[in-house]
Amino acid sequence: MTHLSVNINKIATLRNARGGNVPDLVQFTKDIESFGAQGITVHPRPDERHIRYQDVLDLKPVVKTEFNIEGNPIAKFIDLVLRAKPAQVTLVPDAVDAITSNSGWDTVKHKDFLKEVISEFKRNDIRTSIFVDPNLSMVEHAANTGADRIELYTEAYAEEFSKGNKDAVKIYTDCAKKAIEMDLGLNAGHDLSLQNIQYFKQHVPGLLEVSIGHALITESLYFGLETTIKRYLNLLKG
């Protein structure tokens, strides 16, 4: 079964546009869970342009499904995650000024750093996942970092799929097989949508979780949050 974790960054973006507490992240989180999503993802960035560090702490007692915190493991982020103790932390090597996540880890070059950070999270009973490009060597070497899972960066798949190039999923199928061989759990995310999710799910074995935000919130403007989440759950069945 593939779990849906809803990324609520964009709800925070909307809230921050006015400075008050509308929309209310806590209420959205409760509603998302009541509509059937199996997880909540947040990606606090150092400039706090959407999710604020305090949001993460406020959400911790609210989230009853899987709480997944994503981010670059700078000292401030590590401290936050150790305080919040989510079910899962996903490490993403994004630059401070990146508009969004734009690459996975080089799991060869950063092996020692990742090993050290991951062991600290694991000592605190937090499951670890690392964001990687769809590259067989990067997936293979991810196993040397001690990570429990990898999250395959799906931007390239989404972009190619939108142009009609369904073959773009092939490398993800191969990476998924490699992850299984290396005994790594498999997550995926970035630019997944109602259009491209079913094909991805059907061609990527062992997919444990997808985290989806930007498209899901956009689609909710058309279909409503509950209907949109239920559509994803339906497409992820099987």
Which residues form the catalytic set? 43, 70, 190
Is 104 a binder of ligand LD2JLWAY (CB under 6 A)? no
Backbone phi and psi for residue 234, each to the nearest 5 degrees, phi listed first: -65, -45
Contact between 190 and ligand LD2JLWAY per CB under 6 A: yes
Which of residues 138, 169, 212, 236 is near ligand LD2JLWAY by CB under 6 A? 212
Decide which of ligand LD2JLWAY, ligand DXP, none touches 212; Cβ closer than 5 to 8 Å per partner kind.
ligand LD2JLWAY
Using CB under 6 A, count the residues that bind ligand DXP.
12
Structure tokens at 230: 């239920």
CA distance 86 to 121: 10
Binding piece for ligand LD2JLWAY, criterion CB under 6 A, among 106-114, 171-179, 197-205, 212-220: 212-220
Q: Determine if 93 is a binding residue for ligand DXP (CB under 6 A).
A: no
Select from ligand LD2JLWAY, ligand DXP, none the partner in contact with residue 88, using the beta carbon and a kind-dependent cut-off of 5 to 8 Å.
none
Phi-psi label, residue 115: left if phi above 0, alpha if psi -120 to 50, beta otherwise:
alpha
Asked whether the beta carbons of 147 and 129 are under 8 A apart, the reply is yes
**b vs e for 120-134, b when ≥16 Cβ sit within 10 Å of the residue's Cβ?**
ebeeeebbbbbbbbb
